[in-house]
Structure 1
Amino acid sequence: MSATRYKRLTDIDLDADINTIPESRSIQSTLIGFILLFGFVACMIFLTSVQAHPARVSLQDNGKNSPILRTRSQEKPRKRNITKWMDNYFTADESQFLNCSEMIKNNKDVIELYVNNGRMKLDNERLFELPMDCPSIKNRIYGDMPSFRPLKRPIAFVRTIYKIYELQEALLSISYHPDNVFCFVMDSKSTDRLKESVRIMSSCFTNVVVLGKEYSLNSGGHGQDPAHFDCLKTILDRKWDHAIILQNFDLIIKTPYQLSDISESLNYTSIMGFDHGFSYRYNTKAKWTPAGMKLFKIETGVPNEILNRNLIVRKSLNEVIVSKVFVKSMFEKLNMDIIIKLFDDNDYYGVDEMLVQTLYENYLGLEGQMESNCTRNHNDILTRMTHWDFSGPNGFDKECHSKWKRHGICIMGVEYMNELIKSQQVIANKVMATFDFGTIACMREMIKRNTAGETPNTQWLTSFPQFREMQQKANGTYDRNKFDC
């Protein structure tokens, strides 16, 4: 797509470090602009001449196979093929080039046409006044969706949010099912409009919870663990089998029915990556034995080998899939406030990627926990799809399909739709309404059509050691001393 004009966006994110495109690119863009303007004027002169003197140009004869002379300006644009749901947030003119079916096929011409005519973006300066009565909110979230079928295993979605209500409404719409549970925690620094709107939305649903307490969330990961675990504790008595931990820019790319099937395959297994924690992200001088940190509520009956063994700090990503069996056991047996505070330390950066992993991968006798103390590293190939790119600063980046990145991660514009629809993973990060709302809209369209990629099967899940351990326990063949991580 060399002809695609990727413009610098100054409103991508209020807290992002946006860097300017080199001056040479600006000069090049100016020259291209003059050339396009000249071509447009020439084209208009030509068309005027044709209309004034039609006999001078032979457009076609009466033969069916005769050639037709058409200029680019005469070609009808490929109109959007999405439902009227988009009209809640954009004018028809703004969304006219969003052709999700062709973008999913990676039709570069269609993607180029959409990008060159301006991506669909939402920011605080460009929002409609949405009607906020419950019938209107419900209609936007699921009014055009197919009738709901019961879920075998409901899912809980635990999400920290801080930006743009319309984005949160759209993300809720993608995963909404009356059997599922949704818990939101808001950043204390969010706008009053966001806070008020999210609370109004929550009041319209019995299965949407918004915590009264707000947290100070930042890019260092601070506040994420306390917020997520407050949500988990709040919804613990509700009906769900697995919880998916999410942040503001995470997009669910599986249907509610696919997620229910995945939960059924996982049984009580949780899914996360296996890696060693970086020593510069936590206090290595702290007492890391369960006894030293007073981790257990009741130490009586806990084996000494567990109480006095140093925990190995582990990490993966903040986004994990945790079973309710494991979550319930943590709250019942552990002083969670102590270990949450230990990790959520303002002296360190990236602190939100170690808590769940450390508790899950160090055997503590918890239900639903992995018993084998695996020390090998394993990537999480189920939970989050991410296009990493650590070269260079935030902003324009030619290595990203969308040509834009934030904090070392390529932002997933519509250029990623073909990959998203093929992925076996559950979440995509990052999607940003201030960059390209089209990705979110197209994924909702796929969810609506129940065509959101492949559902991982049991054989594929055996790549996870915790899943293999569960299978062996079910078959009566598990031997902790012989288990191959």
Structure 2
Amino acid sequence: MCHLEPTKCIFVVCLGLSVMVCSLIYLSADEPPEPKSRPECRPFAPQCKPFLLGDKSGLQWHRQQCQVERYIVNQTVECSKLASDLNFITAPLSKEEEDYPLAFILTIHKEVELFIRLLRAIYMPQNVYCIHVDSKAPQEYKATVQKLASCFGNVLVARRSETITYAGYSRLQADLNCMGELTMSKIRWRKVINLCGQDFPIMSNLELVRYMQSEEWRDRNMTPGVKQPAKFRSRTSFIHVEMVGSHVRRTGQKKGLPPHNMQLYFGTAYYALTREFVQFVLTNQVAQELLMWSRDTYSPDEHFWVTLNHVKEAPGSYVSGGWQGSVRAIKWSDQKGASHDGCRGRYVRDICVYGTDDIPWIIKSKGMFANKFEADTFPEALDCLEQWHRNKVLMKATVPIEPTWLLAIPHSNSTDL
């Protein structure tokens, strides 16, 4: 158990525990370990060194399972071994987390490697996860996701799959499909958080639970946004046609006013919603009328959730809310110099795909999750954040740490990474 005392004590105790446990495993083996048949793992980038435990003591970290996609794709998966082989955490790390289960919606269409590592980072056995796989994803991709999900009783793949179009209604419908299935789960989750496949957590599960129960958010939905700015009104004042799987086209035809002459809001498509609000969205007449009206708008998920969250009668509504809520740490290209010092990776659709030198900014941010990452472009960035996050998660555990929960094994025989 790690006790929350001075920082040095935490590092020494937890690090020592990790080293002792792993050493005992190796020393107690009946036979010497066989040579590794899988490729060597990529070493951590030098820029990552300050964010790894034991940096100043010359500790070296060797990543364990770094071929997660190959593990799932290229062999028959034994569910009894998968969780340990892929270093999933298999027990609640605290009573506090166990008593406040969360639900997650993951909307994915590419990069199996990123998806598995994201799921591994946020996975806790008391939570529940709904995976929506884009219907246009390759069949092999769908089969891989299904194979992984089938090994966990609390991970489900949405039965109804949408062909998602960027900025189309289909993206909103994908979340709704998962919400319908999550409401039928036996797990009594408290709030639901939605993610895409290129997200990665900054907060630990414990930090998420505490954030959801903080004074500001305990009984509220988190849907950052404001009254619809004039520059975005064309999104909802003209009829748009979704060219399935391609793009959304604006027509010259005007739309009528929203139902009940509702004030429209504009905000992020990402949220943290109470279970009661989800039921409201799925069953309330006003919510359903707004949903139907939104079908031919541009990027309806950027007005639907936040608009409903300003309806006084909605459970957990935040009528006076604005941009509050640390949902995502994103480096937008037009915010350089204001909220960040530039992208160290590359911009895609005005969003930074993080490089390793962006990690310090991510760690200092107050976001629940960081967006976005690419496995092939800057793989070392995700390696670094992933190890930093897992160390943080395990340091706050109030239960004994299982050796299989370690993503990397510490060694003290070198002063280099």
What TM-score results when the alignment is normalised by the length of structure 1? Answer: 0.59
Q: In the alignment, which of 177, 181, 193 is matched to residue 234 of structure 1? A: 181
| 1-structure distance, mates of 2:78, 2:293 | 42
Q: Could you tell me which residue of structure 2 aligns to residue 251 of structure 1?
A: 200
Alpha carbons 2:219, 2:274 under 8 Å: kept? yes
| 2-structure distance, mates of 1:355, 1:451 | 33
How far 1:354 sits from its partner (Å)?
0.9
Q: Could you tell me which residue of structure 2 aligns to residue 425 of structure 1?
A: 367
| 2-structure distance, mates of 1:453, 1:427 | 19
| Mapping 1:357-396, distance limit 5 Å | 357-363=306-312, 365-372=313-320, 378-390=322-334
Q: Could you tell me which residue of structure 2 aligns to residue 318 of structure 1?
A: 269
Cα pair distance change 1:131/1:255, threshold 3 Å: farther
Of structures 1 and 2, the one scoring higher in RCO (CA 8 A, sep 6+) is: 2
What is the count of residue pairs matched by the alignment? 322
Residue aligned with 1:163, SS: coil
| 1-structure distance, mates of 2:291, 2:129 | 22
Cα pair distance change 1:412/1:146, threshold 3 Å: farther
| 1-structure distance, mates of 2:83, 2:288 | 36
How far 1:256 sits from its partner (Å)?
1.1
CA RMSD of aligned residues (A): 3.5
| 1-structure distance, mates of 2:142, 2:286 | 30
Which of the two has higher C-alpha Rg?
1
* One-letter code aligned to 2:332: W
Q: Could you tell me which residue of structure 2 aligns to residue 177 of structure 1?
A: 124
Cα pair distance change 1:335/1:229, threshold 3 Å: farther
How far 1:380 sits from its partner (Å)?
3.9
Cα pair distance change 1:246/1:97, threshold 3 Å: closer
Cα pair distance change 1:143/1:355, threshold 3 Å: closer
| CA offsets 1:142-190 (integer angstroms, 9 cap, x no match) | 3578873341311111111000222211100000100111111111111
Q: In the alignment, which of 139, 143, 149 is matched to residue 84 of structure 2? A: 139
Residue aligned with 1:158, SS: strand
User: Higher strand proportion, which one?
Assistant: 2
| CA offsets 1:99-157 (integer angstroms, 9 cap, x no match) | 5751538xxxxxxxxxxxxxxx99x99x9735533234312443578873341311111
How far 1:337 sits from its partner (Å)?
5.0
| CA offsets 1:301-329 (integer angstroms, 9 cap, x no match) | xxxxxxx4x11111111111111122223
What TM-score results when the alignment is normalised by the length of structure 2? Answer: 0.68
| 2-structure distance, mates of 1:168, 1:204 | 15
| 2-structure distance, mates of 1:145, 1:436 | 29
* One-letter code aligned to 1:261: R
Cα pair distance change 1:251/1:146, threshold 3 Å: same
Q: In the alignment, which of 250, 254, 260 is matched to residue 209 of structure 2? A: 260
| CA offsets 1:230-256 (integer angstroms, 9 cap, x no match) | 111211143111111112212221111
Cα pair distance change 1:131/1:166, threshold 3 Å: farther
* One-letter code aligned to 1:339: L
| CA offsets 1:257-287 (integer angstroms, 9 cap, x no match) | 1111112222221112222331121245544
| 2-structure distance, mates of 1:183, 1:271 | 19
Q: Could you tell me which residue of structure 1 aligns to residue 353 of structure 2?
A: 411
* One-letter code aligned to 2:369: I
Q: Could you tell me which residue of structure 1 aligns to residue 93 of structure 2?
A: 148
* One-letter code aligned to 1:386: I
